[in-house]
Structure 1
């Protein structure tokens, strides 16, 4: 009789115990020495760039990570790695913008803040957005609380080409403290001057479930929360370039 001794691929320990099965049916093992998992006869799973793009697009159409795992047969941990690596390779947001044509209308901005949370609803995370009214592109964003400090981060992150334009916001006091008075108009929703940025907020909530107010979707870490937002912003701005041109 032949006896096969299994070793941990990470630390070469032989202290392995069975630990359930993978989605493809293969046996999983837990190493009692290094506490890392491995599986029986692992195979290299390589996705093409086209396949990876298809899966990430599905994620931005309200599919959960577990839903992607069931639909495409790819581990949700793999998708998380793709999202984090994709964020690291993104260019600066201002590089995705259409350059203003010099008209006054091209630099009119609508600003708003969007409530979200990480892990639990007491960990509030506010997303501040500056949207160009003409191109519908997101000119700048920042993440933080709802204070004047975070509002100032947003204002300073706006490209100088757009910072000279007029800004429409709601009546939140932070805007009045940060934006120069001659460039700022605080209006109510009935005025219709912030319609586009409010519609953008709705688009974000429709496309990424983790930003919905009442949902089973949520981000467990701030890094994942911001990574998904950044990938969405860059894709959205590139789509606006195609539509606008």
Structure 2
């Protein structure tokens, strides 16, 4: 029994016993009446904007949640909610783009990563493809989507490209999913990787793999959900578009 006067935070019972410590060192208890396992005296912990900014920066620099927790002394369970909240606050990609110009050229390509299969958490993963449309003049990502490698996902990418950029000439590789979407578009051309027409978007993918471990080939890092994959990618694209200007 805990000798001091404490009550269970679930049922109010005083029939509680000590039950180890949390990762942050706080005393935990077990209630013998309702079976709750909780921290005895939780201390509310707020994070300053400066601390949050350091967490975002470390998260973007391939820092794992455990590493960020150890370095900054915050709970590992807080890292993902902070990143999720930041991702929701970020404006859409279109809001940070420079105005399109008459002779702009778009480069379209895709790269793969993994995410839990149908929301499963038991280790099963499916390939997910990041589709990107990048403006050659500004080097900015004008649109991106995450999905499978079908023509349906390609059409989603085209739908997210701002109207002013849809008039631009565009290039992609010979992947079959581009044909149904661009077969009636004379300004689109499919080319080989060695042509050099996709060099800028390939360089973007190289930078993406350098910054986000989940996009690295042959990595054990993976997103815990497709939603977190999207939010993390959105954070990176927002930072990249600002940094490239």
TM-score range, shorter chain: 0.7 to 0.9
Please state how far the C-alpha of 1:42 moved relative to its aligned partner: 2.3
- After TM superposition, the structure 1 = structure 2 runs for residues 81-160 of structure 1, keeping only pairs within 5 Å, are 81-100=81-100, 102-104=101-103, 107-119=104-116, 120=123, 122-160=125-163
Aligned to 1:25: 25
List runs of 5+ in structure 1 lacking aligned partners: none
Shift of 1:11: 5.0
Measured at CA, do residues 14 and 132 of structure 1 come closer, stay the same or move farther in structure 2, by a change above 3 Å? Answer: farther
Q: Is the 8 A contact 1:16 1:29 kept in 2?
A: yes
User: Which structure 2 residue ranges, 5 or more long, are not aligned?
Assistant: 117-122
Q: Is the 8 A contact 2:61 2:212 kept in 1?
A: yes
- Corresponding position of 2:243: 239
**CA-to-partner distance for each residue in 1:26-56, whole Å, 9 max, x for gaps?**
2234567877653233222222112211111
TM-score (norm 1): 0.87
1:219 matched to 2:216? The reply is: no
Cα pair distance change 1:19/1:194, threshold 3 Å: farther
Task: Tell me if the contact between 2:68 and 2:76 (Cα under 8 Å) persists in the aligned partners.
Answer: yes
The C-alpha deviation readout for 1:77-123, integer Å capped at 9, x for no partner, is 211111111122222210011112x330xx21101111111135641
Match of 1:161 in 2: 164
RMSD: 2.3
Q: Which residue of 1 aligns with 2:53?
A: 53
Distance apart, 1:19 and its partner CA = 4.8
Aligned position for 2:180: 177
Q: 1:15 to 1:147 in 2, by over 3 A?
A: farther
Contact 2:24 2:75 in 1 (8 A): no
Q: Classify 1:34/1:3 alpha carbon distance in 2 versus 1 (closer, same or farther; 3 Å).
A: closer
**SS of residue matched to 1:181:** coil
Aligned pairs, number: 237
